[in-house]
């Protein structure tokens, strides 16, 4: 597709369950970012992938959060043992290498933990 | 520290009027400042950016002003339309932050017809 896509668009889960969120970046974009947006809040950086370099995980809030990027393209954000405070919109963005100031965002996955 | 903040959480304007959304930033070493628009249920969409060595940049109906003396950024929207209703975020890019953006909290723009 032409833009960043994310799936699922909505996810409702029970506290304690694991969830996986998927991001397909724009073709050719080597940089991929995950953000979390709580209700009425700004975007909180989670993790950044650039090519084959080690990811910048400095924004992950706890060890329950992890992310992978396979083949330099699709990325999966995994949240283990979900908590109610994990409820948020999870946004993925991609950019060309070295152009973090020009990120294209996906529509997000709305996660609700009951 | 890393912080980009906004002065007004909600701005209501009449259709056809001009809108001004403000943002304060803290890192004088930032290289780029970017404005994003986020409509309900969608991801943020790039509007306009400005390099730190510029004071003003104009786009289609939008102008961004940068005042480095007081670390202030503003987005001006001319002849505001109902389709401009959204949340607007400013973001800051600096090599000091690595390859990521630091976002402000956002301003809700409501356009009254």
pLDDT in tens, A66-96: 999 988 799 999 999 999 999 999 999 999 9
Q: What is the mean pLDDT of chain B?
A: 89
End-to-end alpha-carbon separation of chain A, Å? Answer: 33
d(CA A63, CA A107): 25
Give first-to-last CA distance, chain B, whole Å: 41
Name the pLDDT band for B27 (thresholds 50, 70, 90): confident
Rounded to the nearest angstrom, the minimum Cα separation between B6 and chain A is 10
pLDDT for position A71: 81
Instruction: Give B75's strand partners.
Output: B21, B64
The Cα A42–Cα A19 span in angstroms is 22
> What DSSP letter does each residue of A5-21 carry, written as one string?
EEE-SEEEE-TT--EEE
Compare CB distances from A31 to B34, B44, B99 and report the shortest one's residue: B99
State the Cα–Cα distance between residues A111 and A93, nearest whole angstrom: 17
pLDDT tens, residue by residue, B46-83 = 999 999 999 999 999 999 999 999 999 999 999 999 99
Q: What pLDDT band is residue B8 in, cutting at 50, 70 and 90?
A: very low
Cβ contact, residue pair B98, A103, below 8 Å: no
- Please give the C-alpha separations between residue B83 and each of A46, B14, B20, B59, B99, in angstroms, as whole numbers: 30, 12, 16, 17, 31
* A4–B49 C-beta distance less than 8 A: no
pLDDT at residue B4, as a whole number: 52
Radius of gyration (C-alpha) of chain B in whole angstroms: 13
- The secondary element (H helix, E strand) that includes residue B110 is strand B107-112
Contact A75, A83 (CB under 8 A): no
């Amino acid at each position: 597709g032409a833009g960043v896509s994310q799936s699922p668009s909505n996810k409702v889960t029970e506290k304690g369950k694991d969830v996986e969120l998927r991001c397909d970046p724009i073709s050719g974009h080597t940089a991929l970012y995950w953000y979390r947006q709580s209700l009425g809040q700004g975007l909180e950086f989670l993790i950044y992938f650039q090519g084959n370099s080690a990811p910048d995980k400095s924004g992950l809030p706890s060890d329950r959060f992890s992310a992978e990027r396979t083949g330099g393209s699709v990325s999966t954000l995994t949240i283990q043992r979900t908590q109610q405070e994990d409820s948020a919109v999870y946004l993925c963005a991609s950019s060309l290498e070295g152009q973090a100031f020009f990120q294209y965002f996906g529509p997000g996955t709305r996660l609700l933990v009951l | 520290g890393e912080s980009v903040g906004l002065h007004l959480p909600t701005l209501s304007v009449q259709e056809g009027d001009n809108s001004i959304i403000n943002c304060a930033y803290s890192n004088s070493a930032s290289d780029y400042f970017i404005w994003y628009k986020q409509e309900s249920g969608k991801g943020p969409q790039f509007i306009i950016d400005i390099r730190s060595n510029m004071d003003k940049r104009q786009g289609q109906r939008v102008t961004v002003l940068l005042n480095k003396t007081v670390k202030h950024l503003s987005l001006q929207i001319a002849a505001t339309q109902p389709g401009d209703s959204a949340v607007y975020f400013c973001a800051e890019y600096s090599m000091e932050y690595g390859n990521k953006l630091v976002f402000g909290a956002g301003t809700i723009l409501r356009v009254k017809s």
